[in-house]
Amino acid sequence: MKNTIVRKKIIAISGSTRLRSTNHSLIKAISELYVGQLDVAIFNGLSELPHFNPDDDTSQIGGKVANFKQQLKRSDGIIICTPEYAHGVPGTLKNAIDWTVSSCEFSHKPTLLITASTDGRYGHKALLETLKVIEAKNIDQLQLLIQFAKTKINSDNKIIDNKTLEDVKEIMNRFIETVNETASENGSEISIGR
């Protein structure tokens, strides 16, 4: 039976709560580049999630946390684009990830981490370790650090630096391959090499 090419559902999370941030622009740039291949839904509710409390993290949890977890579960893959704050992971992003630790939404889920910041090395390394611990799939191969990001991604949602554009395309091809591998038992795939 011939494989059907379908657009995979991707949830994209920006570590910045600013709607006009460089990382939001990067997500939109990626979404536009792969519009025929990926159905990218941007999660904009980081700042609306309550502070993580293990006592509240039960199967009965509802509201915004339950909605966030459901979006992760329904997705074929996750893209995280984040800045670095004070050499660390933005608090709202870490808080969101903490809500998923016991319920394992990231476990074996294709996940791409892009840190787009001025420096970004410290926050990138810290978040990479967190994603490894919660078993995000192929995270060692699905990560990219973009330094001096404001000079490479503009407010019109375009990647204006050629090397950065090539790096993003390369990592996205790897991400799509991982998404396809994960979905292969369903007999569906998406094309790469745009």
Give the pLDDT score at 139: 96
Give the pLDDT score at 101: 95
Which two structure tokens, joined as six digits, stand for 68?
A: 């966030």
pTM: 0.91
55, burial (CB in 10 Å: exposed 0-12, middle 13-18, buried 19+)? exposed
pLDDT tens figures, 36-66: 899 999 999 999 999 998 888 887 787 999 9
pLDDT tens figures, 160-169: 999 999 999 9
Give the pLDDT score at 36: 87
CA distance 14 to 23: 6
For the cut 80, the answer to whether the pLDDT of residue 186 exceeds it is no
Which two structure tokens, joined as six digits, stand for 26?
A: 């990067």
Which two structure tokens, joined as six digits, stand for 94?
A: 């870490």
pLDDT tens figures, 132-162: 999 999 999 999 999 999 999 999 999 999 9
The CATH fold assigned to 4-189 is Rossmann fold (3.40.50)
pLDDT tens figures, 77-133: 999 999 999 999 999 999 999 999 999 999 999 999 999 999 999 999 999 999 999
Per-residue confidence at 194, pLDDT binned at 50, 70, 90?
very low
Give the pLDDT score at 4: 52
Q: Containing H/E element for 28?
A: helix 22-33
